[in-house]
Structure 1
Amino acid sequence: MKKVQISITLEGRTINKLEELQDHFCADILPALQSGRLAKWFDGRDMQVQAEAIRAIDKNSDEAAQLLAVAGVLEIAMDAEDAQFMLEDWHNAAAAAAPAAASVPAALASKENEEETEPSGEVVDWSGQDMSNRKFVGADLRNANLKEVNFSGSDLSGADLSGADLSEADLSEADLTGALFVGANLRGANLMSATVKQSEGKTSALPVNFSNMDIVANWMSATAKQLEGKTSALPVNFSNANIVGADLSSAVLRDALFCGCNLTKASLVESWFDGADFSNANLSFADLSDARFGQSQFAGASLVGIRGEDPRPVV
Protein backbone atom coordinates (compact mmCIF):
# COMPACT_ATOMS: atom_id res chain seq x y z
CA MET A 1 0.00 0.00 0.00
CA LYS A 2 1.25 3.47 -0.89
CA LYS A 3 2.44 5.46 2.10
CA VAL A 4 1.42 9.02 2.86
CA GLN A 5 4.23 11.44 2.01
CA ILE A 6 4.22 14.61 4.06
CA SER A 7 6.38 17.63 3.34
CA ILE A 8 8.62 19.80 5.51
CA THR A 9 9.26 23.52 5.07
CA LEU A 10 12.81 24.82 5.55
CA GLU A 11 13.87 28.39 4.77
CA GLY A 12 10.46 28.91 3.16
CA ARG A 13 10.95 25.99 0.77
CA THR A 14 8.87 22.83 0.61
CA ILE A 15 11.19 19.86 1.07
CA ASN A 16 10.30 16.55 -0.56
CA LYS A 17 13.68 14.94 -1.31
CA LEU A 18 16.62 13.93 0.88
CA GLU A 19 19.00 16.06 -1.18
CA GLU A 20 16.77 19.09 -0.56
CA LEU A 21 16.74 18.33 3.16
CA GLN A 22 20.54 18.28 3.19
CA ASP A 23 20.96 21.38 0.99
CA HIS A 24 18.58 23.51 3.07
CA PHE A 25 19.37 22.08 6.50
CA CYS A 26 18.86 24.74 9.17
CA ALA A 27 17.37 25.22 12.63
CA ASP A 28 13.89 25.35 11.05
CA ILE A 29 14.05 21.58 11.30
CA LEU A 30 13.76 21.55 15.11
CA PRO A 31 9.93 21.97 15.30
CA ALA A 32 9.57 19.11 12.81
CA LEU A 33 11.85 16.96 14.98
CA GLN A 34 9.96 17.77 18.18
CA SER A 35 6.52 17.12 16.71
CA GLY A 36 7.49 13.80 15.13
CA ARG A 37 6.92 15.18 11.64
CA LEU A 38 10.53 14.62 10.57
CA ALA A 39 10.39 10.92 11.44
CA LYS A 40 7.09 10.62 9.53
CA TRP A 41 8.75 12.38 6.57
CA PHE A 42 11.33 9.58 6.42
CA ASP A 43 8.66 6.90 7.01
CA GLY A 44 6.71 8.04 3.97
CA ARG A 45 9.80 7.68 1.80
CA ASP A 46 10.71 4.18 3.07
CA MET A 47 13.83 5.49 4.82
CA GLN A 48 13.33 3.43 7.95
CA VAL A 49 16.95 3.61 9.16
CA GLN A 50 16.81 7.40 9.21
CA ALA A 51 13.29 7.41 10.68
CA GLU A 52 14.32 5.28 13.65
CA ALA A 53 17.51 7.30 14.17
CA ILE A 54 15.43 10.50 14.30
CA ARG A 55 13.00 8.94 16.79
CA ALA A 56 15.95 7.94 19.00
CA ILE A 57 17.10 11.57 19.41
CA ASP A 58 16.53 12.87 22.94
CA LYS A 59 13.85 15.56 22.57
CA ASN A 60 14.60 16.79 26.10
CA SER A 61 18.22 17.65 25.28
CA ASP A 62 19.20 21.23 24.45
CA GLU A 63 18.55 22.59 20.96
CA ALA A 64 22.20 22.48 19.92
CA ALA A 65 22.46 18.79 20.81
CA GLN A 66 19.28 18.03 18.86
CA LEU A 67 20.53 19.97 15.85
CA LEU A 68 23.84 18.09 15.93
CA ALA A 69 22.02 14.76 16.17
CA VAL A 70 19.84 15.52 13.14
CA ALA A 71 22.89 16.66 11.20
CA GLY A 72 24.51 13.32 11.99
CA VAL A 73 21.51 11.41 10.63
CA LEU A 74 21.65 13.50 7.45
CA GLU A 75 25.42 12.97 7.17
CA ILE A 76 26.10 16.71 7.39
CA ALA A 77 29.41 17.82 8.92
CA MET A 78 28.72 20.07 11.90
CA ASP A 79 30.36 20.76 15.24
CA ALA A 80 28.97 22.24 18.44
CA GLU A 81 30.07 25.77 17.54
CA ASP A 82 28.39 25.53 14.13
CA ALA A 83 25.17 24.41 15.80
CA GLN A 84 25.28 27.28 18.30
CA PHE A 85 25.84 29.90 15.59
CA MET A 86 23.01 28.42 13.51
CA LEU A 87 20.66 28.59 16.49
CA GLU A 88 21.63 32.18 17.28
CA ASP A 89 20.93 33.23 13.69
CA TRP A 90 17.61 31.37 13.77
CA HIS A 91 16.37 33.01 16.97
CA ASN A 92 17.59 36.46 15.90
CA ALA A 93 15.85 36.15 12.52
CA ALA A 94 12.59 35.08 14.16
CA ALA A 95 12.70 38.02 16.56
CA ALA A 96 13.50 40.50 13.79
CA ALA A 97 10.84 39.19 11.40
CA ALA A 98 7.99 39.23 13.89
CA PRO A 99 5.90 42.42 14.03
CA ALA A 100 5.81 44.41 17.24
CA ALA A 101 2.41 42.91 18.02
CA ALA A 102 3.91 39.43 18.05
CA SER A 103 4.94 39.72 21.67
CA VAL A 104 1.56 39.40 23.35
CA PRO A 105 0.53 42.71 24.94
CA ALA A 106 -0.16 42.55 28.67
CA ALA A 107 -3.78 43.43 27.97
CA LEU A 108 -4.13 40.26 25.89
CA ALA A 109 -2.39 37.85 28.23
CA SER A 110 -4.44 35.79 30.65
CA LYS A 111 -3.73 36.86 34.23
CA GLU A 112 -2.56 34.19 36.63
CA ASN A 113 -4.15 33.52 40.01
CA GLU A 114 -7.44 35.22 39.09
CA GLU A 115 -10.75 33.40 38.94
CA GLU A 116 -11.77 35.20 35.78
CA THR A 117 -9.93 37.16 33.10
CA GLU A 118 -11.83 40.18 31.86
CA PRO A 119 -11.84 40.90 28.10
CA SER A 120 -9.30 43.52 27.12
CA GLY A 121 -11.91 45.50 25.18
CA GLU A 122 -9.73 45.68 22.06
CA VAL A 123 -10.14 43.39 19.06
CA VAL A 124 -6.82 41.99 17.90
CA ASP A 125 -6.25 42.10 14.14
CA TRP A 126 -3.16 40.16 13.04
CA SER A 127 -4.61 39.04 9.72
CA GLY A 128 -1.94 37.67 7.38
CA GLN A 129 0.95 38.28 9.79
CA ASP A 130 3.86 35.94 10.59
CA MET A 131 3.64 34.81 14.22
CA SER A 132 5.63 31.63 13.77
CA ASN A 133 7.83 30.16 16.52
CA ARG A 134 6.55 32.61 19.14
CA LYS A 135 5.14 32.16 22.64
CA PHE A 136 1.48 33.05 23.26
CA VAL A 137 1.03 31.11 26.49
CA GLY A 138 -2.28 32.04 28.13
CA ALA A 139 -2.96 34.83 25.61
CA ASP A 140 -6.46 36.29 25.41
CA LEU A 141 -7.26 36.27 21.69
CA ARG A 142 -11.02 36.03 21.91
CA ASN A 143 -12.85 37.19 18.76
CA ALA A 144 -9.51 38.14 17.19
CA ASN A 145 -9.02 38.44 13.44
CA LEU A 146 -6.33 35.82 12.84
CA LYS A 147 -7.20 34.99 9.25
CA GLU A 148 -4.20 33.55 7.34
CA VAL A 149 -1.89 34.14 10.32
CA ASN A 150 1.22 31.94 10.45
CA PHE A 151 1.35 30.38 13.94
CA SER A 152 3.52 27.44 12.84
CA GLY A 153 5.73 26.18 15.65
CA SER A 154 4.25 28.64 18.14
CA ASP A 155 3.25 27.90 21.74
CA LEU A 156 -0.48 28.65 22.16
CA SER A 157 -0.87 26.54 25.28
CA GLY A 158 -3.64 27.83 27.50
CA ALA A 159 -4.61 30.56 25.03
CA ASP A 160 -8.27 31.53 24.60
CA LEU A 161 -9.17 31.83 20.90
CA SER A 162 -12.93 31.54 21.38
CA GLY A 163 -14.78 33.19 18.54
CA ALA A 164 -11.56 33.98 16.67
CA ASP A 165 -11.36 33.88 12.87
CA LEU A 166 -8.52 31.45 12.10
CA SER A 167 -9.62 30.65 8.56
CA GLU A 168 -6.68 29.61 6.35
CA ALA A 169 -4.36 30.03 9.36
CA ASP A 170 -1.22 27.92 9.69
CA LEU A 171 -1.11 26.12 13.07
CA SER A 172 1.25 23.37 11.94
CA GLU A 173 3.49 22.04 14.72
CA ALA A 174 1.92 24.47 17.20
CA ASP A 175 1.46 23.54 20.87
CA LEU A 176 -2.31 23.71 21.55
CA THR A 177 -2.26 22.22 25.05
CA GLY A 178 -5.19 23.59 27.03
CA ALA A 179 -6.17 26.06 24.29
CA LEU A 180 -9.82 27.06 23.89
CA PHE A 181 -11.39 27.32 20.42
CA VAL A 182 -15.11 27.44 21.26
CA GLY A 183 -17.00 28.99 18.35
CA ALA A 184 -13.80 29.70 16.42
CA ASN A 185 -13.61 29.49 12.63
CA LEU A 186 -10.82 27.20 11.37
CA ARG A 187 -12.15 26.67 7.87
CA GLY A 188 -9.23 25.76 5.63
CA ALA A 189 -6.73 25.95 8.48
CA ASN A 190 -3.58 23.84 8.50
CA LEU A 191 -3.03 21.92 11.74
CA MET A 192 -0.45 19.42 10.52
CA SER A 193 1.52 17.99 13.45
CA ALA A 194 -0.15 20.28 15.96
CA THR A 195 0.47 18.83 19.42
CA VAL A 196 -1.50 18.42 22.62
CA LYS A 197 0.80 17.40 25.44
CA GLN A 198 0.94 16.89 29.17
CA SER A 199 2.02 19.96 31.10
CA GLU A 200 5.37 19.66 32.84
CA GLY A 201 5.00 18.81 36.52
CA LYS A 202 1.23 18.33 36.34
CA THR A 203 -0.88 15.22 36.24
CA SER A 204 -3.43 16.76 33.92
CA ALA A 205 -4.33 19.88 32.00
CA LEU A 206 -7.29 21.12 30.02
CA PRO A 207 -7.91 19.38 26.70
CA VAL A 208 -8.12 21.37 23.51
CA ASN A 209 -11.80 22.14 22.98
CA PHE A 210 -13.08 22.21 19.39
CA SER A 211 -16.73 21.65 20.38
CA ASN A 212 -19.47 22.94 18.08
CA MET A 213 -17.03 24.24 15.47
CA ASP A 214 -17.25 24.21 11.70
CA ILE A 215 -13.92 22.76 10.55
CA VAL A 216 -12.79 21.99 7.02
CA ALA A 217 -9.11 21.68 7.83
CA ASN A 218 -6.02 19.62 7.12
CA TRP A 219 -5.21 17.46 10.16
CA MET A 220 -2.62 15.29 8.45
CA SER A 221 -0.20 13.88 11.02
CA ALA A 222 -1.84 15.76 13.89
CA THR A 223 -0.82 14.26 17.22
CA ALA A 224 -2.12 14.11 20.74
CA LYS A 225 1.47 13.79 21.90
CA GLN A 226 2.63 11.87 24.95
CA LEU A 227 5.74 13.22 26.59
CA GLU A 228 8.54 11.13 28.02
CA GLY A 229 7.73 9.89 31.52
CA LYS A 230 4.07 10.91 31.45
CA THR A 231 1.33 8.32 31.92
CA SER A 232 -1.10 9.59 29.31
CA ALA A 233 -1.70 12.17 26.63
CA LEU A 234 -4.53 14.65 26.84
CA PRO A 235 -7.74 13.95 24.90
CA VAL A 236 -8.92 16.31 22.20
CA ASN A 237 -12.59 17.24 22.20
CA PHE A 238 -14.29 17.45 18.79
CA SER A 239 -17.81 16.83 20.15
CA ASN A 240 -20.55 18.05 17.75
CA ALA A 241 -17.93 19.58 15.44
CA ASN A 242 -18.38 19.65 11.66
CA ILE A 243 -15.28 18.04 10.13
CA VAL A 244 -16.80 17.08 6.76
CA GLY A 245 -14.18 15.93 4.26
CA ALA A 246 -11.29 16.70 6.61
CA ASP A 247 -7.94 14.95 6.26
CA LEU A 248 -6.93 13.24 9.50
CA SER A 249 -4.51 10.87 7.76
CA SER A 250 -1.76 9.44 9.97
CA ALA A 251 -3.14 11.26 13.01
CA VAL A 252 -2.53 9.96 16.53
CA LEU A 253 -5.63 10.96 18.51
CA ARG A 254 -5.98 8.36 21.23
CA ASP A 255 -8.97 8.83 23.58
CA ALA A 256 -10.26 11.73 21.48
CA LEU A 257 -13.93 12.67 21.80
CA PHE A 258 -15.87 12.70 18.52
CA CYS A 259 -19.36 12.41 20.07
CA GLY A 260 -21.98 13.70 17.62
CA CYS A 261 -19.24 14.80 15.24
CA ASN A 262 -19.88 14.97 11.47
CA LEU A 263 -16.97 13.15 9.78
CA THR A 264 -18.74 12.50 6.46
CA LYS A 265 -16.21 11.72 3.69
CA ALA A 266 -13.32 12.39 6.06
CA SER A 267 -10.00 10.56 5.59
CA LEU A 268 -8.83 8.64 8.66
CA VAL A 269 -6.30 6.55 6.75
CA GLU A 270 -3.56 4.96 8.90
CA SER A 271 -4.61 6.96 11.96
CA TRP A 272 -4.67 5.79 15.58
CA PHE A 273 -7.92 6.30 17.48
CA ASP A 274 -7.47 3.78 20.30
CA GLY A 275 -9.99 4.49 23.06
CA ALA A 276 -11.72 7.26 21.10
CA ASP A 277 -15.46 7.88 21.51
CA PHE A 278 -17.42 8.12 18.23
CA SER A 279 -20.86 7.81 19.86
CA ASN A 280 -23.59 9.25 17.60
CA ALA A 281 -20.95 10.42 15.11
CA ASN A 282 -21.57 10.45 11.36
CA LEU A 283 -18.77 8.59 9.56
CA SER A 284 -20.72 8.02 6.35
CA PHE A 285 -18.47 7.42 3.33
CA ALA A 286 -15.34 8.09 5.42
CA ASP A 287 -12.10 6.29 4.53
CA LEU A 288 -11.00 4.18 7.51
CA SER A 289 -8.36 2.17 5.64
CA ASP A 290 -5.65 0.79 7.96
CA ALA A 291 -6.84 2.97 10.86
CA ARG A 292 -6.69 1.66 14.45
CA PHE A 293 -9.76 1.79 16.70
CA GLY A 294 -8.83 -0.40 19.67
CA GLN A 295 -11.47 -0.11 22.44
CA SER A 296 -13.20 2.76 20.65
CA GLN A 297 -16.93 3.35 21.12
CA PHE A 298 -19.42 3.63 18.23
CA ALA A 299 -22.82 3.58 19.96
CA GLY A 300 -25.37 5.19 17.62
CA ALA A 301 -22.71 6.05 15.02
CA SER A 302 -23.43 5.95 11.28
CA LEU A 303 -20.86 4.12 9.14
CA VAL A 304 -22.75 3.90 5.85
CA GLY A 305 -20.51 3.46 2.80
CA ILE A 306 -17.21 3.54 4.68
CA ARG A 307 -13.96 2.37 3.06
CA GLY A 308 -11.90 -0.12 5.01
CA GLU A 309 -12.98 -2.55 7.69
CA ASP A 310 -15.95 -1.84 9.94
CA PRO A 311 -14.32 -0.95 13.30
CA ARG A 312 -17.34 -1.93 15.40
CA PRO A 313 -16.91 -5.16 17.40
CA VAL A 314 -18.79 -8.18 16.07
CA VAL A 315 -21.65 -9.05 18.40
Structure 2
Amino acid sequence: MASETQFRQWGRNVIDIEKSALDHLYQFVDSAEFEQACELIIQCKGKVIVMGMGKSGHIGNKISATLASTGTPAFFVHPGEASHGDLGALAENDVILAISNSGESSEILTLFPVIKRMGIPVIAVTGKPESNMAKFAQIHLCIEVPEEACPLGLAPTSSTTATLVMGDALAVALLQARGFTKDDFALSHPGGSLGRKLLLKVDDIMHQGADLPVVKQDISITEALYEISNKGLGMTAVVDDHQSLVGVFTDGDLRRVIDAEVNLRTTAISQVMTKHCVTCSTNILAAEALQVMETKNINGLLIVNSANQPIGALNMLDMVKAGVI
Protein backbone atom coordinates (compact mmCIF):
# COMPACT_ATOMS: atom_id res chain seq x y z
CA MET A 1 0.00 0.00 0.00
CA ALA A 2 1.39 3.41 -0.98
CA SER A 3 2.08 5.95 1.73
CA GLU A 4 0.59 9.44 1.86
CA THR A 5 3.98 10.85 0.92
CA GLN A 6 4.13 8.68 -2.19
CA PHE A 7 0.65 9.75 -3.32
CA ARG A 8 1.65 13.39 -2.99
CA GLN A 9 4.94 12.86 -4.80
CA TRP A 10 3.26 11.03 -7.68
CA GLY A 11 0.71 13.83 -7.98
CA ARG A 12 3.45 16.47 -8.03
CA ASN A 13 5.34 14.52 -10.66
CA VAL A 14 2.30 14.58 -12.95
CA ILE A 15 1.95 18.34 -12.58
CA ASP A 16 5.67 18.88 -13.19
CA ILE A 17 5.61 16.75 -16.36
CA GLU A 18 2.49 18.46 -17.73
CA LYS A 19 3.92 21.91 -16.94
CA SER A 20 6.98 20.92 -18.93
CA ALA A 21 4.72 19.79 -21.78
CA LEU A 22 3.04 23.21 -21.86
CA ASP A 23 6.41 24.96 -21.90
CA HIS A 24 7.27 22.77 -24.90
CA LEU A 25 3.95 23.68 -26.55
CA TYR A 26 4.76 27.39 -26.52
CA GLN A 27 6.97 27.09 -29.61
CA PHE A 28 4.10 25.60 -31.63
CA VAL A 29 1.70 28.41 -30.73
CA ASP A 30 4.40 30.93 -31.55
CA SER A 31 4.51 29.73 -35.17
CA ALA A 32 3.30 30.60 -38.66
CA GLU A 33 1.02 27.54 -38.64
CA PHE A 34 -0.91 28.82 -35.61
CA GLU A 35 -1.41 32.18 -37.28
CA GLN A 36 -2.52 30.47 -40.50
CA ALA A 37 -5.01 28.34 -38.59
CA CYS A 38 -6.51 31.43 -36.97
CA GLU A 39 -6.75 33.23 -40.32
CA LEU A 40 -8.40 30.21 -41.96
CA ILE A 41 -11.04 29.98 -39.23
CA ILE A 42 -11.64 33.75 -39.21
CA GLN A 43 -12.31 33.64 -42.96
CA CYS A 44 -14.52 30.55 -42.66
CA LYS A 45 -18.08 31.27 -43.82
CA GLY A 46 -19.43 28.08 -42.30
CA LYS A 47 -18.62 26.16 -39.13
CA VAL A 48 -15.59 24.56 -37.53
CA ILE A 49 -16.16 20.80 -37.46
CA VAL A 50 -14.06 19.19 -34.72
CA MET A 51 -13.21 15.49 -34.94
CA GLY A 52 -11.32 13.10 -32.69
CA MET A 53 -11.43 9.52 -31.47
CA GLY A 54 -11.11 8.26 -27.90
CA LYS A 55 -9.50 10.73 -25.51
CA SER A 56 -8.90 13.11 -28.44
CA GLY A 57 -12.65 13.00 -29.00
CA HIS A 58 -13.34 14.04 -25.42
CA ILE A 59 -10.90 16.92 -25.77
CA GLY A 60 -12.40 17.77 -29.15
CA ASN A 61 -15.86 18.02 -27.63
CA LYS A 62 -14.58 20.56 -25.13
CA ILE A 63 -12.71 22.55 -27.78
CA SER A 64 -15.80 22.73 -30.00
CA ALA A 65 -17.87 23.93 -27.05
CA THR A 66 -15.30 26.60 -26.20
CA LEU A 67 -15.17 27.81 -29.79
CA ALA A 68 -18.96 27.96 -30.05
CA SER A 69 -19.34 29.93 -26.83
CA THR A 70 -16.67 32.46 -27.78
CA GLY A 71 -17.94 33.52 -31.19
CA THR A 72 -16.74 30.77 -33.53
CA PRO A 73 -19.60 28.51 -34.72
CA ALA A 74 -18.43 24.95 -34.10
CA PHE A 75 -19.63 21.49 -33.24
CA PHE A 76 -18.18 18.04 -32.74
CA VAL A 77 -18.68 15.16 -35.19
CA HIS A 78 -17.65 11.67 -34.11
CA PRO A 79 -15.43 10.19 -36.85
CA GLY A 80 -16.94 6.73 -36.42
CA GLU A 81 -20.46 8.06 -36.87
CA ALA A 82 -19.34 10.31 -39.73
CA SER A 83 -18.71 7.22 -41.89
CA HIS A 84 -22.31 6.19 -41.33
CA GLY A 85 -24.15 9.36 -42.28
CA ASP A 86 -22.98 12.15 -39.99
CA LEU A 87 -20.59 13.34 -42.69
CA GLY A 88 -23.71 14.93 -44.17
CA ALA A 89 -23.33 17.65 -41.54
CA LEU A 90 -20.32 19.00 -43.44
CA ALA A 91 -20.68 21.82 -45.97
CA GLU A 92 -18.25 23.31 -48.44
CA ASN A 93 -17.76 26.50 -46.41
CA ASP A 94 -16.72 24.60 -43.27
CA VAL A 95 -13.29 23.95 -41.78
CA ILE A 96 -12.24 20.63 -40.24
CA LEU A 97 -10.24 20.57 -37.00
CA ALA A 98 -9.02 16.96 -36.82
CA ILE A 99 -7.36 15.81 -33.57
CA SER A 100 -5.16 12.76 -33.09
CA ASN A 101 -1.99 12.56 -31.02
CA SER A 102 -0.53 9.86 -33.28
CA GLY A 103 -1.86 11.47 -36.44
CA GLU A 104 -2.85 8.02 -37.64
CA SER A 105 -6.45 7.71 -36.48
CA SER A 106 -7.90 5.31 -39.05
CA GLU A 107 -11.45 6.56 -38.49
CA ILE A 108 -10.37 10.08 -39.48
CA LEU A 109 -8.02 9.07 -42.29
CA THR A 110 -10.87 7.11 -43.86
CA LEU A 111 -12.82 10.35 -44.18
CA PHE A 112 -10.03 12.39 -45.79
CA PRO A 113 -10.69 11.38 -49.43
CA VAL A 114 -14.32 12.50 -49.09
CA ILE A 115 -13.31 15.70 -47.28
CA LYS A 116 -10.76 16.44 -50.01
CA ARG A 117 -13.36 15.85 -52.72
CA MET A 118 -15.69 18.31 -50.97
CA GLY A 119 -12.91 20.90 -50.94
CA ILE A 120 -13.07 21.41 -47.18
CA PRO A 121 -9.76 22.58 -45.64
CA VAL A 122 -8.34 20.60 -42.75
CA ILE A 123 -6.38 21.75 -39.72
CA ALA A 124 -4.71 18.69 -38.19
CA VAL A 125 -3.76 18.75 -34.52
CA THR A 126 -1.25 15.98 -33.87
CA GLY A 127 1.93 15.19 -31.99
CA LYS A 128 3.58 13.77 -35.10
CA PRO A 129 4.47 16.25 -37.88
CA GLU A 130 5.44 13.31 -40.12
CA SER A 131 2.07 11.54 -39.67
CA ASN A 132 -0.42 10.96 -42.49
CA MET A 133 -2.94 13.37 -40.97
CA ALA A 134 -0.31 16.10 -40.73
CA LYS A 135 0.71 15.52 -44.36
CA PHE A 136 -2.86 15.48 -45.67
CA ALA A 137 -3.95 18.66 -43.86
CA GLN A 138 -3.57 22.15 -45.24
CA ILE A 139 -2.34 23.30 -41.82
CA HIS A 140 -0.71 21.27 -39.05
CA LEU A 141 -0.72 22.35 -35.40
CA CYS A 142 1.83 20.35 -33.44
CA ILE A 143 1.02 19.29 -29.88
CA GLU A 144 4.10 17.09 -29.42
CA VAL A 145 5.06 16.54 -25.76
CA PRO A 146 8.37 15.32 -24.32
CA GLU A 147 6.63 12.58 -22.34
CA GLU A 148 3.27 11.48 -21.00
CA ALA A 149 2.67 11.89 -17.28
CA CYS A 150 1.62 8.25 -17.17
CA PRO A 151 4.74 6.29 -16.02
CA LEU A 152 3.84 3.57 -18.52
CA GLY A 153 3.82 6.12 -21.32
CA LEU A 154 0.45 4.77 -22.42
CA ALA A 155 -2.43 6.79 -20.94
CA PRO A 156 -2.92 10.12 -22.76
CA THR A 157 -2.10 12.73 -20.12
CA SER A 158 0.40 15.40 -21.14
CA SER A 159 -0.73 15.08 -24.76
CA THR A 160 -4.41 15.65 -23.98
CA THR A 161 -3.48 18.61 -21.75
CA ALA A 162 -1.41 20.10 -24.57
CA THR A 163 -4.26 19.55 -27.04
CA LEU A 164 -6.76 21.23 -24.75
CA VAL A 165 -4.47 24.22 -24.25
CA MET A 166 -3.89 24.48 -28.00
CA GLY A 167 -7.66 24.56 -28.46
CA ASP A 168 -8.02 27.25 -25.81
CA ALA A 169 -5.26 29.26 -27.47
CA LEU A 170 -7.14 29.09 -30.78
CA ALA A 171 -10.48 30.01 -29.24
CA VAL A 172 -9.18 32.97 -27.25
CA ALA A 173 -7.06 34.29 -30.13
CA LEU A 174 -10.16 34.15 -32.35
CA LEU A 175 -12.27 35.78 -29.63
CA GLN A 176 -9.90 38.72 -29.46
CA ALA A 177 -9.62 38.98 -33.24
CA ARG A 178 -13.42 39.15 -33.55
CA GLY A 179 -13.75 41.76 -30.82
CA PHE A 180 -16.02 39.37 -28.91
CA THR A 181 -17.43 41.05 -25.77
CA LYS A 182 -19.04 40.06 -22.48
CA ASP A 183 -22.43 40.95 -23.95
CA ASP A 184 -21.78 38.61 -26.89
CA PHE A 185 -20.80 35.86 -24.45
CA ALA A 186 -23.97 36.42 -22.43
CA LEU A 187 -26.15 35.97 -25.53
CA SER A 188 -24.88 32.40 -25.89
CA HIS A 189 -25.15 31.76 -22.12
CA PRO A 190 -28.59 33.09 -21.16
CA GLY A 191 -29.09 30.33 -18.61
CA GLY A 192 -25.75 30.86 -16.89
CA SER A 193 -24.93 33.23 -14.07
CA LEU A 194 -22.94 35.49 -16.38
CA GLY A 195 -25.84 35.64 -18.80
CA ARG A 196 -28.20 36.65 -16.03
CA LYS A 197 -25.81 39.35 -14.86
CA LEU A 198 -25.31 40.76 -18.35
CA LEU A 199 -28.81 40.42 -19.78
CA LEU A 200 -31.22 40.99 -16.89
CA LYS A 201 -32.49 44.52 -16.56
CA VAL A 202 -34.09 46.12 -13.55
CA ASP A 203 -37.58 45.93 -15.04
CA ASP A 204 -37.19 42.15 -15.47
CA ILE A 205 -37.10 41.57 -11.72
CA MET A 206 -38.60 44.64 -10.01
CA HIS A 207 -41.89 44.59 -8.10
CA GLN A 208 -44.45 46.79 -9.82
CA GLY A 209 -48.15 47.54 -10.05
CA ALA A 210 -50.08 46.21 -7.07
CA ASP A 211 -46.88 44.72 -5.62
CA LEU A 212 -45.16 48.11 -5.38
CA PRO A 213 -45.24 49.58 -1.84
CA VAL A 214 -46.36 53.23 -2.06
CA VAL A 215 -47.93 55.56 0.53
CA LYS A 216 -48.96 59.23 0.60
CA GLN A 217 -46.75 61.58 2.59
CA ASP A 218 -49.51 62.69 4.98
CA ILE A 219 -50.41 59.26 6.40
CA SER A 220 -49.21 58.07 9.79
CA ILE A 221 -46.22 55.84 10.42
CA THR A 222 -48.58 53.06 11.54
CA GLU A 223 -50.45 53.16 8.22
CA ALA A 224 -47.13 53.07 6.35
CA LEU A 225 -46.09 50.01 8.34
CA TYR A 226 -49.17 48.16 7.07
CA GLU A 227 -48.04 48.82 3.51
CA ILE A 228 -44.49 47.67 4.25
CA SER A 229 -45.78 44.51 5.91
CA ASN A 230 -48.23 43.70 3.09
CA LYS A 231 -45.70 44.17 0.27
CA GLY A 232 -42.82 42.43 2.07
CA LEU A 233 -39.92 44.48 0.72
CA GLY A 234 -38.85 46.10 3.98
CA MET A 235 -39.59 49.58 2.65
CA THR A 236 -42.16 51.82 1.00
CA ALA A 237 -41.99 54.72 -1.40
CA VAL A 238 -43.52 57.97 -0.14
CA VAL A 239 -45.23 60.22 -2.72
CA ASP A 240 -46.96 63.59 -2.88
CA ASP A 241 -50.36 64.36 -4.40
CA HIS A 242 -48.86 64.23 -7.90
CA GLN A 243 -47.45 60.74 -7.28
CA SER A 244 -43.94 62.13 -7.38
CA LEU A 245 -41.41 60.50 -5.08
CA VAL A 246 -40.54 62.56 -2.02
CA GLY A 247 -38.83 59.92 0.09
CA VAL A 248 -38.56 56.34 1.29
CA PHE A 249 -39.26 54.71 4.63
CA THR A 250 -37.40 51.50 5.48
CA ASP A 251 -37.01 49.02 8.30
CA GLY A 252 -33.88 50.93 9.26
CA ASP A 253 -35.86 54.16 9.53
CA LEU A 254 -38.37 52.37 11.74
CA ARG A 255 -35.66 51.30 14.18
CA ARG A 256 -34.44 54.87 14.46
CA VAL A 257 -38.01 56.13 15.01
CA ILE A 258 -38.59 53.60 17.78
CA ASP A 259 -35.30 54.53 19.45
CA ALA A 260 -36.43 58.18 19.36
CA GLU A 261 -39.75 57.20 20.97
CA VAL A 262 -41.79 58.86 18.21
CA ASN A 263 -45.58 58.34 18.34
CA LEU A 264 -46.28 55.92 15.49
CA ARG A 265 -50.01 56.69 15.31
CA THR A 266 -49.90 60.46 15.18
CA THR A 267 -46.65 61.24 13.38
CA ALA A 268 -46.84 61.67 9.61
CA ILE A 269 -44.52 59.50 7.56
CA SER A 270 -43.16 62.64 5.85
CA GLN A 271 -41.56 63.72 9.14
CA VAL A 272 -39.44 60.58 9.55
CA MET A 273 -38.86 59.35 6.00
CA THR A 274 -35.49 59.49 4.26
CA LYS A 275 -35.55 62.31 1.73
CA HIS A 276 -33.40 62.43 -1.41
CA CYS A 277 -33.34 58.65 -1.51
CA VAL A 278 -31.33 56.61 -4.01
CA THR A 279 -33.24 55.64 -7.17
CA CYS A 280 -32.56 54.22 -10.61
CA SER A 281 -34.29 53.90 -13.97
CA THR A 282 -35.66 50.76 -15.62
CA ASN A 283 -33.17 50.71 -18.47
CA ILE A 284 -30.13 49.80 -16.38
CA LEU A 285 -28.90 46.26 -15.82
CA ALA A 286 -29.78 44.47 -12.62
CA ALA A 287 -26.04 44.07 -12.03
CA GLU A 288 -25.65 47.86 -12.19
CA ALA A 289 -28.49 48.29 -9.69
CA LEU A 290 -26.75 45.81 -7.41
CA GLN A 291 -23.56 47.85 -7.63
CA VAL A 292 -25.50 50.97 -6.63
CA MET A 293 -26.98 49.18 -3.63
CA GLU A 294 -23.61 47.88 -2.52
CA THR A 295 -21.92 51.26 -2.99
CA LYS A 296 -24.64 53.09 -1.04
CA ASN A 297 -24.88 50.28 1.52
CA ILE A 298 -28.65 49.91 1.12
CA ASN A 299 -30.80 46.77 0.90
CA GLY A 300 -33.56 48.16 -1.31
CA LEU A 301 -33.89 50.39 -4.34
CA LEU A 302 -36.74 52.34 -5.88
CA ILE A 303 -37.14 52.59 -9.64
CA VAL A 304 -38.61 55.82 -11.03
CA ASN A 305 -39.76 57.10 -14.43
CA SER A 306 -38.78 60.36 -16.12
CA ALA A 307 -41.34 62.26 -13.99
CA ASN A 308 -39.70 60.94 -10.79
CA GLN A 309 -42.70 58.74 -10.04
CA PRO A 310 -42.01 55.35 -8.45
CA ILE A 311 -42.82 52.49 -10.84
CA GLY A 312 -40.89 49.65 -9.24
CA ALA A 313 -38.88 48.43 -6.30
CA LEU A 314 -36.45 45.62 -5.55
CA ASN A 315 -34.21 44.43 -2.75
CA MET A 316 -31.22 42.16 -2.20
CA LEU A 317 -33.41 39.07 -1.95
CA ASP A 318 -34.70 39.77 -5.47
CA MET A 319 -31.09 39.91 -6.67
CA VAL A 320 -30.38 36.55 -5.06
CA LYS A 321 -33.50 34.93 -6.54
CA ALA A 322 -32.63 36.27 -10.01
CA GLY A 323 -29.10 34.88 -9.77
CA VAL A 324 -27.46 38.29 -10.06
CA ILE A 325 -25.62 37.66 -6.80
User: What TM-score do the two structures reach when normalised by structure 1?
Assistant: 0.21
Larger strand fraction of residues? 2
Larger radius of gyration: 2
